[in-house]
């Protein structure tokens, strides 16, 4: 059961409304890296955690609920960036600077369909989709999905931070970036708390997997090359259950190398 | 800012788990008539209501938050319907009745991608999309969208009610249907409270619209027919601003009727 | 069976071709509020009306057919707005003003994929989807969907009207807005003609719905508040079948208020 | 401007209603090979034909209008297949055979969202999308798109024909297959009427294209092979403007063949 | 099994980076006419060709593999167009010209989600979809789909060619246009090699199709018109199996012409 | 530049063709956890790696190319599962067991659109979308996305393994699961090789983020609760740059606790 309190998690101020930045913010609302995704992802993951893992269920649901509040903050930011263009912008434009900007800059639906308010779409105008949500029913897989979501989410927020000069927007983004820092850390901490879990899913008995190719880096370059001696071609694998080696795709050798060599020889001689 | 309390708005019990009904319930979660749609629709509408219409903003947000709790109830119902098939079903099937059912009945992703849990997709497996959300920035248009959403939503819930014999599922649906009754009524009451608002948007001066065709039912049957004397071809229009008449598409008469008649005459003689 | 006559329902003139306005018009063709949606929605609804409701079937199909003609008008308007930019625009731009505008303004596919013609996409370039169509098999639900479609449709048309100075475009939009006025009115008249139909679907016996919560506004604010005495918390409900009251989510009270108070007391003392 | 006449282009009868076949027919309505696609494709193509190509514009629009009538026929067929299951089917099933079938067979939305009527979705329940429509602004490209649409469309119709034993359905499909025969032929005839048009677009001066690779079949097998002497590696090209030859991807030879050979030599010796 | 060689099929140079052209190029990567479509289309078609049609299987797979290399070329071109704006552009813009351009011109995700690199989306930002791929299991239908794909693909490439002044981009496009010339020709040659194959699918016995309407052009204009004497209303049909005639939709005549004429007569007199 | 060799990376055998398993396998081809996703994801990531990170570029591209071969293997498996049902299945069914199965089990398009071959769709029939691809332009974020993709991918493969009894299918899946083990390990090894990289993106100076909330777990339960003393509420954060603490949403305390307490006191007394 959910509840709401009518003030924002963090106050949102916009000094110089900027319709183009409103468009950018949409990516953080309805985009693949946005808050709708994480809010719904953590919520559906929480729904799937059995009651005897209460600790994780709570972790997921509490964070889902926080993210709902981020949608609210960002929607407020979009509205405030569209409420009225700055005086400077207005003077440059003929009549209605805000609408003009939206028409120009590729998010006309924000004027036409939403009356200059936030929408559940990304910065290109593509609608949010349930496809973005990963809730696999396997806790380790879900937590890695969350690490990824917060990594791309924080990346997006830092990009937005660099694109604005507005102090209010910088404050809000500084807050959201900080939360993403926490969320990355909390998902990593939760993964660590699982103990041995690699390869995911750990429940599958590894003796059933093909033992010839499960720790071999498989080169697919056309011409065979030397083992590049990288961290993924030799040494212990991170799961602690195998040792890396280097190889080729099975069957990709030249079936009849002698004939091949002869043919090539003839070519050059 | 949002909060959560770790019990359901209404307790969800399933006596006889039924994977096929789990699939059906997905329509009420991620479908066009489902709870994700209304939760997000009311939320985005609330974001767009200016602060001086507090009353409506609160109405919309409070209901949005209630709908979040309905997603939670339905997700619980899906999980419980998938948790284990009934003894009867299990005995009939070879090994894993639940997975077998999902494989058969066209929602294999619920087993393959979600480990037998709820997903943000509809009963056909099509993901939820931001396209479902209507938040136009015009309160009257939004409220009509909400009447429609609750009408199709209640229709769906009653269809689900008829499809199940499980007392727990009937109880849950009886609760949800009752809430849809209330929601239909509250949106109608909110529309009534707007006073004169037709045609939407009322702010557009009607003298700017083409006065020749704004209260005329336009027949498009190939052969002209008599005015059928329906409630939409005569009498006062519901907006109280015009009188219905009956007509044809402009220009759809035979340009040169005499020639036409002559031609047809020759055909029959 | 359908037929076509090779002139438009209403003549479309464009004095000053404007590629950006062409992009805007796409919303009225392939967008959620556009003519493809209503044409197909009314058509599929008509397909579903049983033969003994001929009157409604005819109403729906005749209007569907009219809307097909609106797609045609708008496609003509798009083409004319792209046919050649105005002299003024051409001189400002280097070589091909129209293509330049499309490249700039976020609908490049209109040049690249369609050779500067109309497309079945919205103003953000997102393709039309069958998801927009509501045809529920329940006449009342369908008619409310139509009221909503025409409300958001007329809203869009009036927004487009305000965005253009072109007399030809204003004439065309004045015509389309007038038709939307009629269509809103005709759907309301059709709803009225149904008699008692609330809550939709009226065929579901209300004694099966949970009688405790079907006329109660359910507050979800975190802190309990006074009944706000709104039109949706007291008085007769619009369906004439219940009386509004005001309440909280079931079970959302503080389970052990005394303990709670004591805890809070300690905090402040 | 469009018109409608209230009887079908071809009468639709169903002797033994079959919900599974209703689902199949959806592919011919809202699928990639379906009638919504061709109706809208020909319509948007017609919108884009300039007035001085009246002949082609008429050809396209008249066929578009015919296809609208096919949607109507197929929607009728869906409804009739869902109207009531056969006596045999009913007796086998517990209560409501039709709903049971839809629940089982992966199109539950047809019961849940549409009350057992036609929908703008394909047989997998995926909604129709504007993406299916090809209207490129180039007549030759469009006509090839139409040949393709009718080829896959007729293929679908023949597959449906083979899947049903119902005489009414066979009659309807026999009619639709015949129309597809005509449409394939008419698009081929229209292409022929264009005269020399290959490669599309013919307006692009071929001297601007890279003359080294425009008539060479480019082999991408890992190991070089003999010219297979196929109709596309030698002889005159169908456009009459070049002669086929056979080759490899540019730069895909072994850069330093001598070194290579030596290396391989060492491997085998 | 696939292999890769780390140089491009054709070298990609960009003299004057141009973010807007980067956006245009996305259409050729992830758009309906783009290289992802043809690469995957030919690949899935090849998977479906039975082993006894080795020749066609090889033709399809080799071309699929070539197209993978075109994605690589175009992705390189996108990156190079975004790597840094030209000095001229930089001076005009305030700080970061490239990001500014992307923000303005409707593909902000390229900065926000991809850090100024290629993405699997089209020039409007709409993601690539498996819907674009046609692999019908019927070789003739597939080859026509390929002719169409290369026709719209070459059309796109020539449009891009006309939109750029960059010599590097012109070279790359000249190469790709040449390949499209070859591919159009090779698919036509493959179709010719099939011998008689019309109407597709040729395996369906034509005596099963409705013989009354399979070679008749069906006029759907509202008013009956004269046979326009076009190549598709008389003469031999291209499949060599019928003769074109001209007609009307079955049943679309005026049922009672005499009454009709009389009615019209009265109207004019 | 890509190449192909006409044998599979691993031989695919099917002893007992099973159309339902063919449908399941589609999830591993065109689904969110499937091979099209990883092939394209690694490819687009490789395109974005600058030349001075050759090692990672090669790692990504070589794995992308391997995944292309997995699409090929799985497509072969789909075809073989559909090539003809087992004798047992055939005898049970009336005429064509395979088509019957596809019609029943919710993937009719595989028969209708693809002639019983592989398609670029998931097991629910929803088409593959470019949305699945994560290529952010930040190597660490991309590598976490890859860990996630291989975690959900291996989870899917093990679920498929458990669902089949066919020895050939078990062999193929055992091979694919082994490769997923390797890929999980190689991405982890690559992440380790980056050194300190948390929080992602590491390039953003942390002093710019809001220092009050970047290491605090933020509880959102309605009623305040004790710090649960979990690994994410105390101790060093995994990034080694902060220490976890536990708190509430900013501003979510009762503003005026004294008044609140008094009010509650009155309620209970």
Question: pLDDT digit string (tens) for B35-73?
Answer: 999 999 999 999 999 877 889 999 999 999 999 999 999
Question: pLDDT digit string (tens) for A111-124?
Answer: 888 888 899 999 88
Domain-embedded: residue C257: no
CB contact under 8 A, A5 and B8: no
Residues of D in contact with C77 (CB under 8 A): none
Residue C105 has pLDDT above 60, yes or no: yes
Q: Residues B219, B176: one domain? A: no
Residues in chain E: 269
| F222–B contact, CB cutoff 8 A | yes
Q: CA A137, CA D230: separation in Å to the nearest integer?
A: 52
User: CA of E111: how far to CAs of A18, A156, E96, E118, E169, in Å?
Assistant: 18, 9, 11, 10, 21
Asked if residues A228 and F55 have their Cβ atoms less than 8 Å apart, the reply is yes
| E37–C contact, CB cutoff 8 A | no
Q: Residues E27, E154: one domain? A: yes
Residue ending a domain, choose from D193, D226, D258 = D193
Q: How confident is the model at residue B85 (pLDDT cuts 50, 70, 90)?
A: low
- Closest residue by Cα to residue E249 from E213, E208, E211: E213
pLDDT at position B42, please?
97
Domain-embedded: residue B257: no
ipTM value greater than 0.85: yes
The CATH number that applies at residue A50 is 1.20.1260.10
pLDDT at position F110, please?
85
> Which residue is closest to E127 within chain F, CA to CA?
F130
Q: Which of B257, B267, B268 sits opposite E268 (nearest CB)?
A: B257
Q: How confident is the model at residue D104 (pLDDT cuts 50, 70, 90)?
A: low
- Closest residue by Cα to residue A242 from A219, A213, A220, A201: A213
Q: Which of C33, C62, C188 sits opposite B221 (nearest CB)?
A: C62
Q: Residues A113, A58: one domain? A: yes
Q: Which of F222, F257, F264 sits opposite C257 (nearest CB)?
A: F264
Q: Residues A129, A173: one domain? A: yes
Domain-embedded: residue B3: no
The full DSSP string for chain D is -EEE-SS-SS----SS--HHHHHHHHHHHHSTTSHHHHHHHHHHHHHHS-GGGHHHHHHHHHHHHHHHHHHHHHHHHHHHHHS---HHHHHHSSS-HHHHHHHHTT-THHHHTTSSS--SB-TTSPBPBGGG----S-HHHHHHHHHHHHHHHHHHHHHHHHH---HHHHHHHHHHHHHHHHHHHHHHHHHHHT-S-PSSSTTS-GGGS-TTSTTEEEE-BSS-------TTTSSB-TTSS-B-EEEE-TT-S-TTHHHHHHHHHHHH-
Interface of E with C in 42-101 (CB under 8 A): none
pLDDT at position F250, please?
82
Residue F125 has pLDDT above 80, yes or no: yes
| F204–E contact, CB cutoff 8 A | no
The DSSP 8-state label assigned to residue E2 in this structure reads E
Q: Residues A144, A47: one domain? A: yes
The DSSP 8-state label assigned to residue A166 in this structure reads -
Q: Residues D215, D135: one domain? A: no
DSSP lists the bridge partners of residue F129 as E129
Domain-embedded: residue E133: yes
Number of CB pairs, chain A paired with chain B, less than 8 A apart: 141
| C129–F contact, CB cutoff 8 A | no
User: CA of C117: how far to CAs of B32, C127, D38, D134, D139, in Å?
Assistant: 31, 15, 18, 12, 13
Distance from CA of E132 to the nearest CA of A (A): 18
Residue C216 CB partners (closer than 8 Å, separation 6+):
B182, C244, C245, C246, C247
Question: pLDDT digit string (tens) for E130-181?
Answer: 999 999 999 999 999 999 999 999 999 999 999 899 999 999 999 999 999 9
Interface of C with D in 98-117 (CB under 8 A): 113-117
Domain count, chain E: 2
Distance from CA of F202 to the nearest CA of E (A): 15
Own/partner contacts of A164-168, CB < 8 Å, gap of 24 or more, are: A164/A18, A164/A21, A165/A16, A166/A14, A166/A15, A166/A16, A166/A18, A166/A21, A167/A13, A167/A15, A168/A12, A168/A13, A168/A14, A168/A15
Q: How confident is the model at residue C91 (pLDDT cuts 50, 70, 90)?
A: very low
- Closest residue by Cα to residue E8 from B142, A216, F1, B1: F1
Distance from CA of F29 to the nearest CA of A (A): 16
Q: CA F77, CA F118: separation in Å to the nearest integer?
A: 9
> Which residue is closest to B254 within chain E, CA to CA?
E223
Q: Residues B143, B64: one domain? A: yes
Query: Quick one: three-class SS letters along chain B?
Result: CEEECCCCCCCCCCCCCCHHHHHHHHHHHHCCCCHHHHHHHHHHHHHHCCHHHHHHHHHHHHHHHHHHHHHHHHHHHHHHHHCCCCHHHHHHCCCCHHHHHHHHCCCCHHHHCCCCCCCCECCCCCECEHHHCCCCCCHHHHHHHHHHHHHHHHHHHHHHHHHCCCHHHHHHHHHHHHHHHHHHHHHHHHHHHCCCCCCCCCCCCHHHCCCCCCCEEEECECCCCCCCCCCCCCEECCCCCCEEEEEECCCCCCCCHHHHHHHHHHHHC
Q: Residues E174, E118: one domain? A: yes
Residues of A in contact with D127 (CB under 8 A): none
Residues of A in contact with B2 (CB under 8 A): 2-5, 65-66, 68-69, 72
Q: CA D38, CA D32: separation in Å to the nearest integer?
A: 9
> Which residue is closest to D138 within chain C, CA to CA?
C115
Q: Residues E180, E70: one domain? A: yes
Query: Quick one: three-class SS letters along chain C?
Result: CEEECCCCCCCCCCCCCCHHHHHHHHHHHHCCCCHHHHHHHHHHHHHHCCHHHHHHHHHHHHHHHHHHHHHHHHHHHHHHHHCCCCHHHHHHCCCCHHHHHHHHCCCCHHHHCCCCCCCCECCCCCECEHHHCCCCCCHHHHHHHHHHHHHHHHHHHHHHHHHCCCHHHHHHHHHHHHHHHHHHHHHHHHHHHCCCCCCCCCCCCHHHCCCCCCCEEEECECCCCCCCCCCCCCEECCCCCCEEEEEECCCCCCCCHHHHHHHHHHHHC
Q: What is the pTM of this model?
A: 0.91
| F208–C contact, CB cutoff 8 A | no
> Which residue is closest to F254 within chain C, CA to CA?
C223
Distance from CA of F94 to the nearest CA of B (A): 18
Distance from CA of D203 to the nearest CA of F (A): 31
pLDDT at position C110, please?
85
- Closest residue by Cα to residue C142 from B150, B152, B140: B152
User: Which subunits have 3 or more CB–CB pairs within 8 Å of chain B?
Assistant: A, C, D, E, F
Q: Residues A170, A217: one domain? A: no
Residue D207 has pLDDT above 90, yes or no: yes
Domain-embedded: residue A44: yes
User: Which subunits have 3 or more CB–CB pairs within 8 Å of chain C?
Assistant: A, B, D, E, F
Residue A205 has pLDDT above 90, yes or no: yes
Q: Which of D1, D104, D108 sits opposite B124 (nearest CB)?
A: D108
User: CA of A15: how far to CAs of A12, A82, B139, D90, E125, in Å?
Assistant: 10, 12, 27, 68, 30
Residues of E in contact with D41 (CB under 8 A): none
Residue C89 has pLDDT above 60, yes or no: no
Whole-number average pLDDT of chain C: 88
DSSP lists the bridge partners of residue B129 as A129
Distance from CA of A160 to the nearest CA of F (A): 12
CA angle B221, B222, B224 (to 5 degrees): 75
Q: CA D134, CA C109: separation in Å to the nearest integer?
A: 12
Asked if residues B180 and B153 have their Cβ atoms less than 8 Å apart, the reply is yes
Residue B138 has pLDDT above 50, yes or no: yes
Domain-embedded: residue D122: yes
Distance from CA of E253 to the nearest CA of B (A): 11
Average pLDDT, integer, range A179-199: 97
Q: CA C107, CA C82: separation in Å to the nearest integer?
A: 12
CB contact under 8 A, C1 and E252: yes
Strand order from edge to edge, sheet including F243-248: F216-219, F243-248, F235-236
Q: Which of C76, C79, C136 sits opposite D113 (nearest CB)?
A: C136
**Residue from A88, A110, A123 whose CB has the most chain E CBs within 10 Å, to mutate:** A123
C64 phi/psi in degrees, rounded to 5: -55, -45
Better pLDDT: C136 or C255: C136
Residue E74 has pLDDT above 60, yes or no: yes
Domain-embedded: residue C77: yes
CB contact under 8 A, D114 and C1: no
Q: Which of B222, B254, B267 sits opposite E257 (nearest CB)?
A: B267
Domain-embedded: residue B77: yes
Residues of F in contact with E5 (CB under 8 A): 1-3
Q: Residues C218, C179: one domain? A: no
Gyration radius of chain E over CA positions: 26
Dihedral sign for Cα atoms in the order B143, B147, B149, B150: positive
The DSSP bridge pattern shows strands C243-248 and C235-236 to be: antiparallel
> Which residue is closest to A255 within chain D, CA to CA?
D223
Better pLDDT: F9 or D51: F9
Q: What's the start-to-end Cα distance of chain E, in Å?
A: 80
pLDDT at position C225, please?
79
pLDDT above 90 covers a percentage of chain A that reads 68
Number of CB pairs, chain D paired with chain F, less than 8 A apart: 69
Q: Residues D138, D45: one domain? A: yes
Q: Which of E2, E104, E125 sits opposite A105 (nearest CB)?
A: E104
Q: CA A199, CA A206: separation in Å to the nearest integer?
A: 9
DSSP lists the bridge partners of residue C221 as A4
Range of the domain at D227: 205-249
pLDDT at position D139, please?
96
């Amino acid at each position: 059961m959910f509840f709401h309190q009518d003030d924002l998690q963090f106050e949102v101020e916009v000094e110089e409304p900027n319709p183009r930045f409103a468009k950018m913010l949409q990516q953080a609302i309805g985009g693949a890296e946005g808050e709708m995704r994480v809010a719904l992802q953590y919520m559906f993951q929480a729904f799937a955690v059995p009651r005897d893992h209460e600790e994780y269920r709570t972790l997921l649901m509490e964070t889902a609920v926080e993210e709902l509040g981020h949608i609210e903050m960002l929607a407020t930011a979009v509205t405030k960036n569209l409420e009225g263009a700055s005086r400077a912008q207005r003077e440059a434009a003929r009549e209605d600077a805000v609408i003009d900007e939206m028409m120009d800059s590729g998010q006309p639906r924000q004027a036409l369909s939403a009356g200059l308010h936030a929408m559940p779409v990304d910065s290109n105008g593509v609608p949010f989709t349930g496809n973005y949500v990963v809730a696999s029913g396997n806790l380790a897989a879900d937590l890695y999905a969350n690490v990824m979501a917060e990594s791309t989410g924080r990346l997006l927020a830092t990009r937005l931070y660099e694109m604005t000069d507005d102090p209010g927007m910088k404050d809000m983004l500084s807050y959201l970036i900080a939360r993403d820092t926490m969320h990355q850390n909390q998902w990593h901490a939760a993964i660590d708390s699982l103990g041995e879990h690699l390869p995911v899913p750990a429940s599958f008995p590894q003796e059933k997997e093909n033992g010839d190719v499960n720790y071999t880096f498989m080169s697919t370059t056309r011409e065979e090359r030397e083992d590049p001696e990288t961290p993924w071609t030799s040494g212990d694998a991170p799961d602690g259950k195998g040792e890396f080696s280097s190889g080729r795709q099975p069957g990709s050798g030249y079936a009849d190398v002698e004939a091949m060599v002869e043919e090539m020889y003839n070519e050059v001689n």
